[in-house]
Amino acid sequence: MECREMSVLIHEFLDGEIDELSNQKLQTHMRTCASCRQHLQELQRAIAFVQSASHIQVSPDFTARVFAQLPTPTRKKRFSSWLRNHPFLTAAAVFLFLMTGSTMANWYERDNTLQIASSNMDKLKIDRTRNVVVVPAGTTIDGDLVVRNGNVEVQGEVRGNVVAIEGKVVLASTAHVAGSAESIEAIFEWIWYEVKNIGNDLLPVFP
């Protein structure tokens, strides 16, 4: 009579989701009902058979064949792997970053640490407590100076552009900037070809 109802409980039991009361009911019923006992046993065997289906492995050159079909790296990807291959840049906390077009930004982790790109790292004064990069009076920086997540204070000379991304450029009365000095509020305003130009003379000169 109650075998139909028991079938529901049997499946709850197999899902491991039967409550105590239902479980007692099921066990009591099965003690006297051979057909429900058999039903459960057959289900358990079917599951065991499926689980025992041996786990086959993909052919050994699978990964290589996937890679052969990947699109060739675009400029932005080559650029990021170039960065990875020059860890000394990272070590010196010199970073090249940013770029946009919505796609570009994806390749870089956004974080709030101060990042600087310049070919004259050694001449810069970095005030980490105030997040300010200072070009001291009397010094000359060759090429562009790019700072992200911080301000730039120019007292000396920069023979290039000064750019602060998510920061401000402050020019002292003694400042001399050959190119333009600009603040960029959000990273997406940055344009790829500008970064490319920085990339060309990125290699910093260490003392």
Which positions lie near another protein, rule CB under 8 A?
11, 14-15, 39, 42-43, 45-47, 49-59, 62-63, 65-67, 69-70, 73, 76-77, 80-81, 84, 103, 106-109
Q: In what order do the strands lie in the sheet with 140-142?
A: 140-142, 157-159, 176-177
CB atoms closer than 10 angstroms to residue 92:
13
Q: Measured from the CB of residue 164, what is the shortest distance to another protein in angstroms?
A: 24
Name the 3-class secondary structure at 117. strand
Is 46 one of the binding residues for Zn ion (CB under 5 A)?
no
Binding partner selected for residue 33 from Zn ion, another protein, none, CB under the kind-specific 5 to 8 Å limit: Zn ion
Tell me the per-residue interface mask from 26 to 45 with Zn ion, x by CB under 5 A, - otherwise.
-------x--x---------
Secondary-structure percent of the chain, ordered helix, strand, coil, rounded to 5:
40, 20, 40
The DSSP bridge pattern shows strands 115-118 and 125-127 to be unpaired
Q: Are 35 and 3 in contact (CB under 8 A)?
A: yes
Handedness of CA 173, 176, 179, 185 (dihedral sign): negative
| Residue with smaller CB distance to another protein, 59 or 129 | 59
According to DSSP, the residues that pair with 94 across neighbouring strands are: 116
Binding partner selected for residue 5 from another protein, Zn ion, none, CB under the kind-specific 5 to 8 Å limit: none
Is 9 one of the binding residues for Zn ion (CB under 5 A)?
no
Q: Measured from the CB of residue 180, what is the shortest distance to another protein in angstroms?
A: 30
Binding partner selected for residue 180 from Zn ion, another protein, none, CB under the kind-specific 5 to 8 Å limit: none
Residues that bind Zn ion (CB under 5 A): 3, 33, 36
